[in-house]
Amino acid sequence: MTSAVKGERATELKRFRQVQTLAYECAEAVAAQLKPGVTEREAARMQRRRLRERGVQDWFHLPFAWFGDRTAFVNFRIPLQFFPTDRRLMEDLEAHRELILREVRERRPLREIYEDVDRLMVRQGYANRHRAYPFGVIAHKVARVKERRWSPHVLGFGTQSLKGLAADALHGHRDGWSPLWSPYRFSDHPARPGWAVELHLGFRGTGVKFEEILVVTDSEDPEESAFWLDDDLPHVWRWAEEKCR
């Protein structure tokens, strides 16, 4: 029985990993095609087309792109000038990735972890940009969606995932948890399975973020209780490269 459950979970995780890899590959490929003159809208379209070609049928939200301080590359000099800042921001993101994993494993309430992330950001000299997201979320729950032939999207969000979130929110409201990881009281509980963490740091007109799936299980073993779905990701390689240097 347990092995069957384990096997099922392994397949599920494998699928999730494939989806995450697909998303990262798409982002990297489109990033490589960017050149002066490409607009945010064009980049988003490139991502969407590429993902559709690779069999994506439904979205949590539609792909988007943000450039510079939300401007197109009118003047390419500026992004290049800020390059060192960007790299520094990327490096500092690693500390957050580690902090989140450590504290989730300690079963700390999500709200407290959020506050610790905030404090680390302030110490590093950065601003919290995910506060601008709906409900100021740092992460939201992800789960499997049902495959439908027609799955429209509302304001850029896929209806299937919105439905899932709404259902979770309803259940969670009864049981005292929430599918959104926010600074508010409804996040005052330890992590439950399956999170997409999307941390967003900002600094003087530039920002960096990563979005990764954090797997949370009810295992007793701390290593097993929470882990990043996949370490084979572009930003993780970059950190490893920096360390080797």
Partner 1 sequence: MSEGEQMRRVVALEGARERRVRADGVELSVAELGDPGPPTVVLLHGYPDSKEVWSEVAVRLAEHYHVVLYDVRGHGGSTAPRPLRGGFTLEKLTDDFLAVVDAVSPDRPVHLVGHDWGSVQGWEFVTVGRTEGRIASFTSMSGPSLDHLGHWIKRRVKRPTPRRIGQLLGQGARSWYVYLLHTPVLPELAWRGPLGKQWPGLLQRGEKLPPGHYTAPSLPTDAAHGAWLYRDNVRARLTRPRDDAYAHVPVQLITPLGDAFLSERLNDELALWAPQLTRRTVSARHWVPLTRPDQLAAWITEFVTATEGGRPAPMATGKYADRFGGQLVLVTGAAGGIGRATAFAFAESGARVVAIDRDTEGAARTAELARLIGAPEAWAETVDVSDEQAMEKLAAKVATEYGVVDVLVNNAGIGLSGSFLDTTAEDWRKVLDVNLWGVIHGCRLFGKQMAERGQGGHIVNTASAAAYLPSRTLPAYSTSKAAVLMLSECLRAELAGKGIGVSAICPGIVNTNITSTARFAGVDAEEEKRRRQKTARLYRLRNYPPEKVADAVLRAVVRNQAVVPVTPEARGGRLMSRFTPRALRALARLEPPL
Q: Which is nearer to partner 1, 61 or 77 (CB)?
A: 77
Residue 55 near partner 1 by CB under 8 A: no
One residue of 80, 204, 219, 240 binding partner 1 per CB under 8 A? 204
Q: Rounded to the nearest 5 degrees, what angle is found at the Cα of 195, between the Cα atoms of 110 and 216?
A: 80
Q: Which is nearer to partner 1, 52 or 204 (CB)?
A: 204
Residue 203 near partner 1 by CB under 8 A: yes
Q: Which stretch binds partner 1 (CB under 8 A): 14-22, 30-38, 83-91, 186-194?
A: 83-91
Q: Which is nearer to partner 1, 42 or 86 (CB)?
A: 86
Residue 74 near partner 1 by CB under 8 A: no
DSSP 8-state secondary structure symbol assigned to residue 185: G
Between helix 83-105 and helix 234-244 the angle, nearest 10°, is 110
Using only C-alpha atoms, the chain has a radius of gyration, in whole angstroms, of 18
Length of the chain: 245
Least CB distance from residue 88 to partner 1, whole Å?
A: 6
Between helix 110-124 and helix 83-105 the angle, nearest 10°, is 150
Residues 136-165 as x/- pattern, contact with partner 1 by CB under 8 A: ------------------------------
| Residue 98 burial (10 A CB sphere; 0-12, 13-18, 19+) | exposed
Q: Are 34 and 72 in contact (CB under 8 A)?
A: no
Between CA 84 and CA 167 the distance in angstroms is 43
By CB under 8 A, how many residues form the interface with partner 1?
13
Residues 12-41 as x/- pattern, contact with partner 1 by CB under 8 A: ------------------------------
Residue 125 near partner 1 by CB under 8 A: yes
Residue 88 near partner 1 by CB under 8 A: yes
| Residue 38 in tokens | 């490409």
Residue 78 near partner 1 by CB under 8 A: yes
Between CA 27 and CA 24 the distance in angstroms is 5
Report the amino acid identity of residue 157: F
Which residues lie near partner 1 (CB under 8 A)? 78, 81-82, 84-85, 88, 122-125, 127, 203-204
